[in-house]
Amino acid sequence: MLVEPAAQAHTDEELRNLEVVRALRHATVEGRKAHMAPGARIHRRGMAHLAARSGAAYAPEGLPDRADEIHAMIAKGDRVWAVWTIHATHGGPLFGHEPTGRPVEVLEVGIWRLAAGKVVEAWFLADEYALAQTFGLLP
């Protein structure tokens, strides 16, 4: 006999943290600052190499029509994990590359640690290879 696992309820803290991360993912780059604690630490892998190679940081105008499609989110204690796809058009300078007009589709994973409703630390892993292909850097 197959027994279904009981639905796991979230704590009030976990529900609040999920809402903060949802709001952060849907905010503009500038608007995300409202969800960050002073001195929050960000750890990025993927896209960081493109930034280091070009000497240019991420610029929101590079993906002017960016929309993040969230595929899954989970919360446990003070942590939230999410997986999403960035959908956009390379319509402006991005990591030192002039606009190509090509569609961008990049899978990304984020992990956030929150305290008092603010992000205090975050880790991001992105499919940098897919973005490099958009720039024509890779086959």
pLDDT tens profile 7-31: 568 899 999 999 999 999 889 888 9
Instruction: Give the chain's mean pLDDT.
Output: 90
Task: Check if the beta carbon of residue 80 is closer than 8 Å to that of residue 112.
Answer: yes
At 3 the pLDDT is 47
Indicate if the pLDDT at residue 79 is higher than 50.
Answer: yes
Please give the Cα distance from 34 to 54 (Å, whole number): 28
Whole-model pTM?
0.84
36/30: higher pLDDT? 36
**102 pLDDT exceeds 60?**
yes
1 vs 42 pLDDT, higher one: 42
The pLDDT score that the predictor gives to residue 12 is 94
SS3 31: helix
* pLDDT score recorded for residue 9: 85
Strand pairing class (36-45; 118-126):
parallel
**Which amino acid is present at 112?**
W
Write down the pLDDT at residue 7: 54
Token pair for 113: 């640690």
The pLDDT of residue 137 is 81
CA distance 128 to 116: 32
* Residue 47, phi-psi category: left (phi > 0), alpha (psi -120 to 50), beta (remainder): left
